[in-house]
Structure 1
Amino acid sequence: MVAEMDCKDNLVAGRRTALSDVLAVGLGVVFCGLNPALTAQRDGHNFSSPSNRFWRVLHLAGFTPVLLRASDERELLQYGCGITAAVWRATRRAADLTAKDYLTAAPELEAKIGGFAPANLAFLGKAAFAAINGRTDCDWGEQSELFAGVRTWVLPNPSGLNRAFTLDRLTGHYRELRAKIQQIS
């Protein structure tokens, strides 16, 4: 069941768009973006920017047997995956968010993740996880801390603005998570 209750309504160019979580109880992994891009807010679909590599990386890492588009986001549920955001305020760049933005949003995120109880939560980028946990930095991969009682990962952000990671490097990090999920299942 998709979590329609978490739908975030936005007004863009005079029309209402609905950008929502893609969640169900007991998923294998929920991918937690830092926040929506302005393009996602405009389009009403998560990771909809043509430069965002999220959908391609998920496919290459083996999370989906076919390459999905942002408009297919609800199909992720059938593959045991979901999507949420640490902060729901859309920005041009994730760097426009502050530690306070993440800390303010953390209780809602924690309640949501605790309620849906996925096996894994993957923060897409270090900023949200580090801010919420009071760290200045963290390593990529599985974390020693749980979030809302859930095994937590930090993966590189698939944004096209993240030029520090090639498609191959991104895919490798996501593949590591996929392999761990398969070991546990």
Structure 2
Amino acid sequence: MLFCGINPGLMSAWTGYHFARPGNRFWPALHASGFTPRRFAPAEQEQLLGLGLGVTNMAARATARADELSAEELVEGGRLLAEKVALYRPAWLAILGVTAYRVAFADKRAQVGPQQRTLGATRIWALPSPSGLNAHWTPAALAEEFGRLRSAAFAPPRQGG
């Protein structure tokens, strides 16, 4: 599973850790949904690899708000992300920000949840942005959506019939 944020916030750029701003809800949602055995701190992001999880960003430029990125930056970020996925071949790509996903992959109708598009064999799930600025997604609702992804990603294979 590769989690992809939109771009580094200023705190993340300063610390070098993903989702480093204290109000960001990525780490709590990751734990509350069962992806991690405990709540990790941003400085522990390397420990995700041992759980089969990774973290990256769509765009490299740090901003205070994701809406400061241009459409061109998101489209280029989507292209580079597709290259990264082709190299590492995760089973799932979880993009944390459905609006950024819509722009980067020219899918204006995308909704939160599983997407029809794949990148090779990698399935895509659009998650809400965990930024504290995305307040209409409560921590409980975020954790529930992360949990839907976890259930889909780790569901037992269907039996033929």
Q: TM-score of the superposition, structure 2-length normalised?
A: 0.93
- Secondary structure in 1 aligned to 2:62? coil
Equivalent in the alignment of 2:35: 63
Find out whether 1:31 has 2:20 as its counterpart: no
Find out whether 1:54 has 2:22 as its counterpart: no
- What CA distance in whole angstroms lies between the structure 2 residues aligned with 1:118 and 1:80? 9
Find out whether 1:119 has 2:119 as its counterpart: no
Post-superposition shift, 1:116?
0.3
Structure 2, unpaired ranges of 5+: none
Q: Which of 86-95 and 133-142 deviates more?
A: 133-142
Post-superposition shift, 1:147?
2.6
- What CA distance in whole angstroms lies between the structure 1 residues aligned with 2:55 and 2:130? 13
Aligned counterparts, 1:81-120, within 5 A: 81-120=53-92
Aligned pair partner of 1:160 in 117, 132, 140? 132
Post-superposition shift, 1:105?
2.2
Cα shift readout 1:64-90 (whole Å, capped 9, x = no counterpart): 001100000000111111001010100
Post-superposition shift, 1:138?
1.3
- Secondary structure in 2 aligned to 1:52? coil
Q: Which has the higher contact order (CA 8 A, sep 6+)?
A: 2
- Secondary structure in 2 aligned to 1:87? coil
- What CA distance in whole angstroms lies between the structure 1 residues aligned with 2:120 and 2:12? 26
- What CA distance in whole angstroms lies between the structure 2 residues aligned with 1:105 and 1:170? 24
Q: Do the aligned partners of 2:98 and 2:126 also contact (CA within 8 Å) in 1?
A: yes
Q: Which of 68-77 and 105-114 deviates more?
A: 105-114
- What CA distance in whole angstroms lies between the structure 2 residues aligned with 1:126 and 1:33? 10
Find out whether 1:131 has 2:95 as its counterpart: no
Q: Do the aligned partners of 2:127 and 2:146 also contact (CA within 8 Å) in 1?
A: yes
Over aligned residues, Cα RMSD in angstroms? 1.2
Post-superposition shift, 1:149?
3.6
Cα shift readout 1:34-91 (whole Å, capped 9, x = no counterpart): 0000100011111110000111110000000011000000001111110010101000
- What CA distance in whole angstroms lies between the structure 2 residues aligned with 1:148 and 1:56? 30
Find out whether 1:183 has 2:147 as its counterpart: no
- Secondary structure in 1 aligned to 2:94? strand
